[in-house]
Amino acid sequence: MNDQELDQMLRRAATVMPAQAPASVQDAVMARVRTDTGREARWRSFVRWLLLLAVGAAIATACVIGYARASRDATHNTPPPMDLFREGLPR
């Protein structure tokens, strides 16, 4: 096949009208879409679970990061010096 034949074949393929589904199938699909009340509930459930999982993942991530940072914090390992207890009670 040379370039001219390929070009002709591509032009013919581009001008051919796309095949459409038979009207009976299209009507049946559209009728089911119009009467399918469970689709809204499924989408709502999907979105609800997606949001719950996102919130759960955010809380788990915050806990892990907080624990990791707190375990490396050396601020409270030794108590601060308190002059009151070191010198005794004032007279």
Q: pLDDT tens digit string along 2-53? A: 888 888 888 887 777 666 656 677 788 788 777 777 888 888 999 999 999 9
Cα pseudo-dihedral 5, 6, 7, 11, rounded to 10: 100
User: In one letter, which amino acid is 50?
Assistant: L
For residue 64, being part of any structural domain is answered with: yes
For residue 56, being part of any structural domain is answered with: yes
- The model's confidence at residue 67, banded by pLDDT at 50, 70 and 90, is very high
For residue 24, being part of any structural domain is answered with: no
Its domain, for residue 64, covers: 41-73
Angle in degrees, CA 29, 18, 30, rounded to 5 = 10
- Match 């999907």 to its residue by tokens: 46
- Give the count of domains, the chain: 1
Distance CA 67, CA 61 (A): 10
Q: How far is CA 53 from CA 30, 46, 58, 65, in A?
A: 33, 11, 9, 18
For residue 62, being part of any structural domain is answered with: yes
For residue 60, being part of any structural domain is answered with: yes
pTM beyond cutoff 0.85? no
Distance CA 41, CA 47 (A): 10
